[in-house]
Structure 1
Amino acid sequence: MQFLAELNYDNIRRIWEKEINSEELQDLDDLTIGKMAEYLSHVRLALTEVPADNNLQVEIYTREIENLEYMLTDLLKIRMRKILEAALAQQSPAGVMTIAEEEFYNRVSRGVSAHASFLESVLTGSVSVDTEVERTTGGVAATDNGGMEYVTVMFTRPIDTPFIGLDEKTYGPFEREDVATIPVANAQVWLRDGTVVRVVAQDVERD
């Protein structure tokens, strides 16, 4: 089978080895990642076209697929650790990142910066309920919707009437113990009066 992807197994191996042998983040863009995924897909397709009695070729393709899956997984995990370390240190990674990696870096950086501001407010004695709700990272995530922040909450009492969030989306109605992600600004009053309680991300089961 002729592979259409420009990258091949040796290219991918070299990219992986370069990443694991360097302390700094290496350049990796979305186009390259796409070609890596494309090549893996081609090898998987090639495996399905091998006659069932050709055990040797089946073994070759199967081993190649396993190696590719390992290298790609390890590559992205190593890059994630490097990006996380840079974000925690409030430094910019040295290498080019994919869009998904940039979003990850920006989210972590915002969280670190927000926590630093929260810590400063605690030390100066100026912390408030609003500051705690808006800045703490547990269950709160920023989106690309104009910088809107959301919080995952569980309702402790029913809300019978739907409402319009600050993001102009309709929410509700909600039953007791319903879990939902709503704009932080809309949740503030309910967080204060006990209508909702915050839920950390790992406790939420997503479909």
Structure 2
Amino acid sequence: MATQNVITYEKLYEILRMEKFRADLQKLPDDFMNSVTRYLEEKSKILEKQESKDNSMFESEVVATRRQLENVKKMLKEIYDRREAKVIQRALLAARSGSGGTTNLLDHEQSFYDGLLDLFSGYRTGVLSNLLQNKEIKKPKSIKKESKPSSQYILRFVEAVPRFMGENMQPYGPFEPEDVAAVPLGAAKILLKNNKAQAIEHHEKA
């Protein structure tokens, strides 16, 4: 059984520091998003428990926990913003040079990178390349507004699964055995591969 990555305030601070002072994306655990979700849930439960105590003696604890939770969310936003900017820069360089690496990308960042690379490459081919060859400038196919369906699986869970973050950045779960739910394609494949669930139906969601 794989060991779950444990997130702490200090670890998030160190991740942010590394993202600030190093130019490239830093390596994060594959389950980083799920670990962060669990951490936020635990902190929120602690805060709720403290707030439920009708005693002024615990007021300082409530203030401290609330402040820490606010600081954690600020750090997470800055980590996301900095990594987002690095993914954009990496995709842009790859579109210009025709080559680029995808190391240290989380699942949702990989999807983001692939989409950006298609977008940037489509522009360069449809606009710049045609312009330099004195050809008609065409609207890149990759940026035409189309309603693209998103794949989902209807799963029946055979094991308990803690709450996790899907590739669409939406939380799912927690789930118990025999629960049935619609799950995005990427997460569904992982659950099926690890025998955590069984597929009931696969459909395209507009």
The TM-score bracket by the shorter chain reads 0.5 to 0.7
1:73 to 69, 74, 77: 77
In structure 2, what is the Cα distance between the partners aligned to 1:140 and 1:29?
Answer: 34
Q: Which structure 1 residue ranges, 5 or more long, are not aligned?
A: 146-168, 170-180, 182-207
Q: Which residue of 2 aligns with 1:107?
A: 115
Alignment of 1:84 with 2:88, yes or no, is yes
In structure 2, what is the Cα distance between the partners aligned to 1:75 and 1:65?
Answer: 15
User: Per-residue displacement from partner, 1:135-154 (whole Å, max 9, x unpaired)?
Assistant: 5x263587777xxxxxxxxx
One-letter code aligned to 2:132: L
User: Per-residue displacement from partner, 1:30-85 (whole Å, max 9, x unpaired)?
Assistant: 40221122111100110000124310110111011011100111101100001101
Q: Which structure 2 residue ranges, 5 or more long, are not aligned?
A: 152-203
In structure 1, what is the Cα distance between the partners aligned to 2:85 and 2:24?
Answer: 11
Alignment of 1:132 with 2:136, yes or no, is no
- Change in CA separation of 1:81 and 1:141 when aligned onto 2, cut-off 3 Å: farther
Q: Which residue of 2 aligns with 1:118?
A: 126
In structure 1, what is the Cα distance between the partners aligned to 2:19 and 2:54?
Answer: 37
8 Å CA contact 1:24, 1:95 repeated in 2: no
| Larger gyration radius, structure 1 or structure 2 | 1
In structure 1, what is the Cα distance between the partners aligned to 2:5 and 2:67?
Answer: 19
Q: Using CA pairs below 8 Å that are at least 6 residues apart, which structure has the higher relative contact order? A: 2
One-letter code aligned to 1:18: M
The percent of aligned pairs where both chains have the same amino acid is 18
- Change in CA separation of 1:25 and 1:93 when aligned onto 2, cut-off 3 Å: farther
Any idea what SS the aligned residue of 2:31 has?
helix
In structure 1, what is the Cα distance between the partners aligned to 2:140 and 2:25?
Answer: 34
Q: Which residue of 1 aligns with 2:10?
A: 10
8 Å CA contact 2:126, 2:140 repeated in 1: no
In structure 2, what is the Cα distance between the partners aligned to 1:24 and 1:133?
Answer: 29
How many equivalent residue pairs?
142
Any idea what SS the aligned residue of 1:23 has?
coil
Q: How far 1:9 sits from its partner (Å)?
A: 1.3
8 Å CA contact 1:5, 1:39 repeated in 2: no
- Change in CA separation of 1:7 and 1:132 when aligned onto 2, cut-off 3 Å: closer
In structure 1, what is the Cα distance between the partners aligned to 2:35 and 2:146?
Answer: 34
Matches within 5 A, 1:164-203: none
8 Å CA contact 1:29, 1:97 repeated in 2: no
Q: How far 1:109 sits from its partner (Å)?
A: 0.5
Q: How far 1:127 sits from its partner (Å)?
A: 3.0
One-letter code aligned to 2:141: E
TM-score by length of 1: 0.59
Q: How far 1:92 sits from its partner (Å)?
A: 3.2
